[in-house]
Amino acid sequence: MSLIQSAGIQSLKEGLSKLKERFDGTQGEPYIVESNKFKALYFDSESTQSLMDMQAPIRLVVSYTETMMGFLLFHTDPRKIAMIGLGGGSLAKYCHHHLPAASILVLENNSKVIALKDKFHVPQNTAEFQVLEADGAAYLRNTEEQFDVLLVDGYTKLGQAAQLCSEDFYASCLACLKPHGILVINFSGAAGLNQVYQERIDRVFDYPSVLVVEDDRMNQILFVSNGSDLQASAEDLLGRSSTLSKTHDIHLARTTQNFLNQRKLDAS
């Protein structure tokens, strides 16, 4: 979820104003709004759940999704990735395309969101790419699978799903991470509440998390590792960012600098 700064935002807003009376108050049922350049997923007219460039469906349009891909700085070649929250499939599509060696599991509990996945060019299920209708918290609590990377971006019309904010959930995340695995969570909303969530995470994990504030101030992206990976030197991270940027056009330099700035603040 984010405020979108793009050439197509005005036409999207105009479309939303016409659709507001029809869709608001429909208990969070997802719907699509299209302009000439973009296709957007909404639960209501207040916030964008996902945004796709019609000419480049795999490109990450919303800045917070680029920041979430910052896990590459710490795990450059993940083989097992799990995601909670499908939305329009932006992260799932990007990882499927740019990390072909990775097995990807996407957990989405809203069947109506899953029903729209073809409209956002989300790949069909295969042995290596699965979109499952499931409660992400319950799935992690009951599985014995382990992952290199776990991405959490689960929202409803009312905000972040409550079952994805508890200390028990964060313990399940830790149990599902391989050694040196990376957990990345998109937080949107009150900074004070996000700090409470971060404190819960830090009680569960042995290594401190880093909460990066997006440039638009609407999202905060939390990184935490099942290892000391987030303490890599600034020189190493900048070098990795430079190397990765040759194959990933996702503003990794910006993410790296924001991460390093926040880590420095946390240490002061």
Catalytic residue set: 153
Question: Residue 16 — very low, low, confident or very high, per pLDDT cuts 50/70/90?
Answer: very low
The token duo for 249 is 């056009």
pLDDT at 182 over 60: yes
19-23, 118-122, 241-245: which range is least confident on average? 19-23
Q: Which has more confidence, 27 or 143?
A: 143
- Our separate counts of H helices and E strands in the chain read 9, 12
Map 165-177 to HEC letters: CCHHHHHHHHHCE
Tell me the Ramachandran region of residue 89: left when phi exceeds 0, alpha when psi lies from -120 to 50, beta otherwise: left
* pLDDT score of 99 more than 70: yes
Helix, strand or coil for residue 150? strand
CA angle 84, 86, 87 (to 5 degrees): 130
What is the per-residue pLDDT for 46?
Answer: 63
CA atoms within 13 A on the CB side of 110: 20
**What is the reported pLDDT for 206?**
96
User: Regarding the domain delimited by 63-267, which CATH topology (the fold level of the hierarchy) does it fall under?
Assistant: Rossmann fold (3.40.50)
Whether the CB-CB separation of 17 and 146 falls below 8 Å is answered with no
Better-scored residue on pLDDT, 4 or 91? 91
- Residue % of the chain over a pLDDT of 70: 87
25 Rama sector, left if φ>0, alpha if ψ -120 to 50, beta otherwise: left
The pLDDT of residue 213 is above 50: yes
Mean of the pLDDT values across residues 55-80?
95
**55 conformational bin, left if phi > 0, alpha if psi -120 to 50, beta if neither:** alpha
Show me where the domains of the chain are located.
9-53, 63-267
Whole-number Cα distances in Å, 73 to 20, 78, 90: 40, 11, 19
pLDDT level of residue 154 (50, 70, 90 thresholds): confident
Tokens read off for 193? 């509440």
> Who wins on pLDDT, 158 or 12?
158
Tokens of 86: 């499908």
Whether residue 156 has pLDDT greater than 80:
no
